[in-house]
Structure 1
Amino acid sequence: MHIPRWATPAAAVAASGVLLTGCGKVPAGQQANAGVGATQAAPDPARQDPSAEPSPTVTPPVLQAAGVSRLGKVVTDGAGRTLYRFDRDTARPPASTCMDSCAKTWPPVQATQGAVQVDGVDQRLVGKVKRPDGSWQVTLGGWPLYRYAKDESPGEVKGQGVGGAWFAAAPDGKKAAGGQRERQQDGGDDGDDGGRDRWAGWTVVNVRKDPRLGMIVTDGQGRVMYRFDKDRPKVTNCFGQCKKAWPVVKFTNWKKLKVEGVDRSRIGFIERKDDGSCQLTINGWPMYYFAKDEKPGDTKGQGVQNVWWVVSPQGAKITKSAGGSGY
């Protein structure tokens, strides 16, 4: 009897420490969901209490206005380091989308229970927002604020214009004026997806704040992902006309996977039995787009036939209404 390659047992390759599939090598211990059983990594305890208030032991942050020759007035911290805002975030409502490796390159300005000290900045514009990991971040004009790891000295603005998405914050919360640098000269990964061509051929998993649905999963271009109630973990039941209406989110390989705002241990794939292609999974659930979503951020597929749902960063379906219609 012919056994399709998507059903190859794990034991056949277990001795090598990796699982070989059409989607590339799966690192040992990685949740692959490649048509075989996988044990999900234990959840990070640090993410289990998003209601925790900011630590009172952290020194209250400082926002002060400073002049930069080519940009004019910018906002700095108490040490004179330039603070930035990110175009993929939102100000109304405030939401931060820079997580994991992005947050290492762009450390968030941490909020505390104490008042933010200001100098040359309107106190009424200052606030805070809870990040998906439960920590709190300072906002200005609703925009979350960050530092840039490559700014080595006070007054440096190496982060200005990086990826076409990062800009020094002005004292009014808007972008600082002046020249914009589309990307780093060294071509390094600065934790943004500003240039779409940069991630061509990659599988990119991101999150965004939807005003009605909360934090939801998207790809690198902001296209919303969905899961299907008639599927099962690691099993797809969407073929033919269904697949035309709900195109699959392709998984390239582990070397071309970029994840921001979602625990990487939740990411996997299945090898589809209809065409052998690899489909992204989150918590085992196959991911899809909706063909009628015309632009990034559209959620027209939400609630379609009461079986299609957008996905939270934890991989759970979100069942709030967003005005979906049948196909």
Structure 2
Amino acid sequence: MKKIKFRSRLVAGCFAAALLLFTSVACSKDNQDEVADAGPKEVQLRNDATLGSVLIDKDGRTLYSFANDATATNNCTGGCEPVWPIFNVDNLSSEKLGSGLELSDFKSITTGSGKKQLTYKGRPLYYYAPLVNGTNVKEDAGKTGGENIGGVWFVAKPDYTIMLTNAQLVGHDGKNYTSTYTEGTGKTLYFTDARGVTLYTFKNDKQNKNNFTAADFSNNGVWPIYETDKIVVPSGLDKSLFGSITVFGKKQLTYKGWPLYYFGQDNMVMGSNKGVSYPAPGGIWPVPVKNMAAAMP
């Protein structure tokens, strides 16, 4: 009787061990299949020693954005196209994105020539392909030679808090304005947030002093403060000229001492800059630009 019980236990033990081994092998194979199915990451992040975290493709080539693309539209046409080839990934999925990137930040657009192009946070993405022996050749992996070319081309980054947009100013009255806030046509290169939403300053503010926002934030819907103290800017801007102040317990970003705001009627829409003529024309709420004068004490 004891021998029968012993043999039963032995058989049961062997069966359990075999089952465990089979399960381990199966799980291992499943995991390998999942890795294989995921494939290469079509868009990834690379840490650049000078520029910080930048977007790259699966081969390590740097991706760029164009300040003239104010409204998620490709404005790189004609002779611009060979130098700045478009970047696209069909059927992008979260599995094709590297760590630190969100699928919701990417969209697809169709260019004027009918090509598909991927955008990131509203901005179309490009490669840089300078002339090499008379031929446009995409720069090698790890290079960032396109950064700040013309003051309007920048590496794509996940963490900008200030970006630049080069566009026509159109007030809430529907009229075109120049950078001097007189009626007229002509692009102005001004500051936005990472998603291309226009930022403003208030002419009645003083150096590092917000003179608009009420203590209870009851008027914040009209001119919301740009609420951040993080400073990540394109290399063409001097990071040391940015700072932050505390406004009734909230942080507000500043440039040359000017507190930065949104305009409520822009509705956080990329490229809208209606605030330049509100409540009246004349630069009461000018957009911040690189060479603006510092705020007075």
Do they superpose with TM above 0.5? no
- Structure with the larger helix share: 2
Normalising by structure 1, report the TM-score.
Answer: 0.39
Normalising by structure 2, report the TM-score.
Answer: 0.42
